[in-house]
Structure 1
Amino acid sequence: MNPRIPVIGVVGAFAVVILIIAYSGTSVIDDTSGEARLGSSSGTVIEPLVIDLDEIIIKDVDERTAYVEIAFKVTNPNYKSVILEMIRYNVYEDGMKIGTKSIGDRAAPGGLVSASNYFTILSDRPSIIKDDFTIKNDGNIPELWKALENDTPQWRVSGEAYYNLSSMTAGGENEITFEFTR
């Protein structure tokens, strides 16, 4: 008997087992906790991201324009990395809405990311995500401009963030809302 026949049979059996596991949706390591297990990953629940307002700084103010920088600190409590698709936020000063902006892009319908304008949030350290916005002085709200010039605004920032697991095969699309005052 040819000694290659048993070796080819064993290799073929391993290939069949690997294909069965790959196409059945079974995973050996939990996507979020890192614990070893054998089961389907379709019901994976991921822990929500933790979003904090790191800082909001008035960079420059003149008689017509104010330049402001905002930074969010995003922490991932999950074992695996998470794709942060977009942060959409509203900025208020003393109860008056200044504007709405977004950082990143939402995934296309069906969960596919069509652009590369997203952030990978690792599990071992927080990420700081910054954005800039401009406030125009139309002369109708002198109280706002005085607060900006004196660096004494009463900021409130609210919004939502959209994220999913980096594997995009488990955990689904997720959303978290936030609100901060400063």
Structure 2
Amino acid sequence: MLPPVLAVKDVAVTGEGESADVKVTFTVENPNNTTVLLETIHYNVNVDEQRMTIGDVGQSPEGFLASQGSIFTIVSGSTLTVSNTQAVERNSVNAEAWDKMVAGEATYTVDGTYFYRVTAGNLDTSTGEENFVLTFP
């Protein structure tokens, strides 16, 4: 079984005053001939090696009876698009990077970890965890 293929589709920033919303959109491709369940993407958004925000897409289930409402199903050969928005406040530490973000002049490094499950035809389920470092644009 191959891990899902994660990519950053877009990083959109809308700023007002000293606050900005950073929306990160990911695509997750399932290269397998069976269904993949994407549990969680934990990520950091960095500009010029300055962490601007952190976020999560989905939620890891806890325990046998946990709800699966925030787990994403990706059928064989398809691609899922998911996004998350976090607020970022401008301050003396991040001012230069924040200004680049809001002006649309930033290059982003998005890094983190994603968690998934793959069920094979014999109903054996394997879990996976992949680290990633992606650049956008």
Q: Hey, what's the Cα distance between the residues in 1 that align with 2:20 and 2:119?
A: 37
| 1:47 aligns to 2:2 (yes or no) | yes
- SS of 1:48 mapped into structure 2: coil
* Corresponding residue for residue 104 of structure 1: 58
Q: Hey, what's the Cα distance between the residues in 2 that align with 1:113 and 1:161?
A: 22
* TM-aligned CA deviation for residue 146 of structure 1: 2.1
**Share of identical aligned residues, percent?**
23
Letter in 1 for 2:56: S
* TM-aligned CA deviation for residue 98 of structure 1: 1.4
Deviating 4+ runs (over 3 angstroms): none
Q: Hey, what's the Cα distance between the residues in 2 that align with 1:105 and 1:48?
A: 18
Q: Are residues 119 and 166 of structure 1, via their aligned partners in 2, closer, same or farther at CA, if it must alter by over 3 Å?
A: farther
- SS of 2:2 mapped into structure 1: coil
Please, which of 53, 56, 61 is the counterpart of residue 11 of structure 2? 56
* Corresponding residue for residue 144 of structure 1: 97
Superposition pairs for residues 1-182 of structure 1, below 5 Å? 46-58=1-13, 60-109=14-63, 112=64, 114-115=66-67, 116-166=69-119, 169-182=123-136
Q: CA RMSD in A?
A: 2.0
Letter in 2 for 1:149: V
What is the aligned length? Answer: 134
- SS of 2:97 mapped into structure 1: helix
Q: Which has the higher helix share?
A: 1
Q: Are residues 126 and 144 of structure 1, via their aligned partners in 2, closer, same or farther at CA, if it must alter by over 3 Å?
A: same
> Are the counterparts in 1 of residues 7 and 26 from structure 2 also a CA contact under 8 Å?
yes
> Are the counterparts in 2 of residues 120 and 166 from structure 1 also a CA contact under 8 Å?
no
Q: Are residues 113 and 123 of structure 1, via their aligned partners in 2, closer, same or farther at CA, if it must alter by over 3 Å?
A: farther
Q: Hey, what's the Cα distance between the residues in 1 that align with 2:88 and 2:94?
A: 12
- SS of 1:172 mapped into structure 2: strand
Q: Hey, what's the Cα distance between the residues in 2 that align with 1:82 and 1:159?
A: 19
Q: Which has the higher strand share?
A: 2
Q: Hey, what's the Cα distance between the residues in 1 that align with 2:102 and 2:56?
A: 25
Structure exhibiting the larger radius of gyration computed from Cα positions: 1
TM-score of the pair, normalised by structure 1 = 0.67
Deviates more, 1:139-148 or 1:46-55: 139-148
Q: Which has the higher contact order (CA 8 A, sep 6+)?
A: 2
* TM-aligned CA deviation for residue 103 of structure 1: 1.0
- SS of 2:99 mapped into structure 1: helix
